[in-house]
């Protein structure tokens, strides 16, 4: 019974969003209200009414501290996005680019994951779509390719989710982070194969030589990430690897994406 009561707020939010009759804000507020009611019921049954006040004071303070980290990261990400928009508005900067396989790989496997890692919460997806539009891509192809911004989601938002998840699971952030890094190897093999298919559907030809090049750079990035002990504690290593790889791979295009 306790489990069912705890699940009701989540089911309420999902139901409101699925109905299409409530905005995300309304659904979120409804979920918050239902969560408070469910928490009151569960706490009273387990500890009695006297435990409510100290429990909610303690948990409210902890929640505010945790939410501040999320809000700060989102705000910084949106500021980064605004800076990119301002840069695109400068005369002679940020215009349309010729789409080619090397540039598309750089967007999907370097720029987009980097943007999500330093911002998180989907902001990297917005930045990826902006970069894809500059390549002349739109529609379903851009929407799907933009999802590569989530390919390293365990380190999104500076690994905040991984850190919180590890705490809830009773693991150290290093343990969960390193395990997630190991899983990225087989997953990225599938990511790369699917990427070539999406590129072809988007009208960008990827030659055999370019596929070999893509595979080598992807393997190099993953190998360096694992060699550096990439986990929640060392998430910044991925940013350095991505930036260095981009500057080395495309020296003549450092300001083009």
Residues 147, 125: contact at Cβ < 8 Å? yes
Over the chain, what is the mean pLDDT? 80
Q: Distance between CA atoms of 88 and 136, rounded to whole angstroms?
A: 15
Q: 256 in helix, strand or coil?
A: coil
Q: Distance between CA atoms of 105 and 152, rounded to whole angstroms?
A: 15
Q: How many CB atoms lie within 10 A of CB 134?
A: 18
Average pLDDT over residues 106-133: 85
What's the pLDDT score for residue 155?
A: 77
User: Which tens digit of pLDDT belongs to each residue from 64-107?
Assistant: 887 787 777 777 767 776 776 676 655 445 567 788 998 999 99
- Among 2-6, 109-113, 143-147, 167-171, the range of highest mean pLDDT: 143-147
How far, CA to CA in Å, does 195 sit from each of 105, 142, 144, 191?
Answer: 9, 12, 9, 6
Tokens of 90: 């400068």
**How far from each other are the two terminal CA atoms of the chain, in whole angstroms?**
53
How far, CA to CA in Å, does 233 sit from each of 118, 154, 166, 191?
Answer: 14, 12, 12, 25
What's the pLDDT score for residue 26?
A: 92
Q: Distance between CA atoms of 147 and 154, rounded to whole angstroms?
A: 14
What's the pLDDT score for residue 246?
A: 58
How far, CA to CA in Å, does 17 sit from each of 11, 25, 134, 212, 252?
Answer: 10, 10, 32, 43, 46
For residue 231, pLDDT over 50 is answered with no
Q: Distance between CA atoms of 137 and 143, rounded to whole angstroms?
A: 9
User: Which tens digit of pLDDT belongs to each residue from 191-225?
Assistant: 999 999 999 999 999 999 999 999 998 888 777 66
Q: Distance between CA atoms of 91 and 95, rounded to whole angstroms?
A: 9
């Amino acid at each position: 019974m306790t489990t069912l009561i705890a699940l009701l707020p989540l089911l309420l939010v999902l139901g409101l969003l699925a109905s299409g009759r409530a905005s995300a804000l309304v659904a979120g507020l409804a979920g918050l209200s239902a969560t408070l009611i469910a928490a009151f019921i569960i706490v009273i049954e387990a500890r009695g009414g006297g435990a409510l006040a100290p429990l909610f004071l303690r948990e409210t303070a902890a929640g505010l501290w945790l939410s501040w980290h999320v809000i700060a990261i989102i705000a910084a990400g949106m500021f980064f996005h605004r800076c990119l928009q301002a840069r695109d508005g400068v005369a002679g900067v940020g215009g349309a680019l010729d789409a080619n396989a090397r540039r598309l790989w750089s967007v999907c496997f370097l720029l987009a994951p980097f943007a999500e890692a330093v911002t998180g919460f989907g902001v990297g997806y917005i930045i990826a779509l902006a970069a894809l539009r500059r390549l002349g891509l739109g529609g379903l192809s851009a929407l799907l390719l933009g999802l590569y911004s989530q390919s390293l989601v365990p380190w999104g938002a500076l690994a905040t989710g991984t850190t919180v998840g590890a705490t809830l699971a009773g693991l150290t952030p290093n343990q969960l982070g390193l395990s997630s890094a190991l899983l990225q190897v087989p997953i990225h093999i599938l990511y790369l194969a699917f990427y070539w298919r999406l590129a072809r559907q988007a009208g960008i030809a990827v030659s055999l030589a370019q596929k070999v090049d893509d595979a080598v750079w992807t393997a190099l990035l993953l190998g360096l990430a694992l060699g550096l002990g990439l986990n929640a504690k060392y998430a910044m290593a991925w940013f350095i690897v991505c930036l260095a790889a981009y500057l080395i791979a495309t020296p003549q295009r450092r300001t083009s994406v």
